[in-house]
Amino acid sequence: MSDKRLYSAAAARNREPILSVLRGVLPARGLVLEVASGSGEHVVHFAAALPRVTFAPSDPGQKARESVAAWIASSGLENVQPPLALDAAQAPWPIARADAIICINMVHISPWAATMGLFENAAAILPTGAPLYLYGPYKRDGAHIAQSNADFDAGLRAQDPSWGVRDLEEVADLGRRAGFDGPETVEMPANNLSLIFRRRAPTSVR
């Protein structure tokens, strides 16, 4: 039987720095939805390190979901659910509630509509105060923070004009309009950022 696990060099490099941030962000127990799980390497790494947390991986791609399922099977972990078919841009999502959401390296490798959907749908399933964690490269004040990010951005846009490194301020504004506070920003290796948003209490209508 063929091994359907996919491998990502970037995931191998960044999983420990991301985990170090998530330890202070995720709840001690509860359900954590991962949006755009990709190969599945991140989710099994986090689940092994945080055994009291249940993880729900997801991805819109069939091959990615097969890879996630294969990684889960090979890991033997019991705190990772089968991967969901979830497109961030589509509503409603196939999950009614989560205690936290993580999304790694999706915002720049997807159309802007996916980021819009991420915030709108996350606001619908997260309780007040719950975190939405994003990781990836971002521009600040409309400028790249490193030449390597500028080169990466150009390469992404050459592949698909709807992709690209986003402005941190635009993402933050989108989050605020969707009902989130923040973000708290954490500098990460290789000119990436961790962004931590928190679900704001819904405004009552009188």
pLDDT in tens, 14-45: 999 999 999 999 999 999 999 999 999 999 99
Query: What is the CATH code of the structural domain delimited by 9-199?
Result: 3.40.50.150
How wide is the angle at C-alpha 57 spanned by C-alphas 54 and 60, nearest 5°? 160
Angstrom distance (rounded) from CA 152 to CA 15: 20
Q: What is the mean pLDDT of residues 97-105?
A: 98
Q: Per the confidence metrics, is the pTM higher than 0.75?
A: yes
Q: Please state, for a pLDDT cut of 90, what percent of the chain lies above it.
A: 96
- What are the structural domain ranges in the chain? 9-199
Angstrom distance (rounded) from CA 60 to CA 194: 23
Torsion angle, alpha carbons of 175, 179, 183, 184, to 10: -160
**Model pLDDT for residues 40-76, shown as the tens digit of each residue:** 999 999 999 999 999 999 999 999 999 999 999 999 9
Angstrom distance (rounded) from CA 115 to CA 119: 6
Quick one: pLDDT band at residue 84, thresholds 50, 70, 90? very high
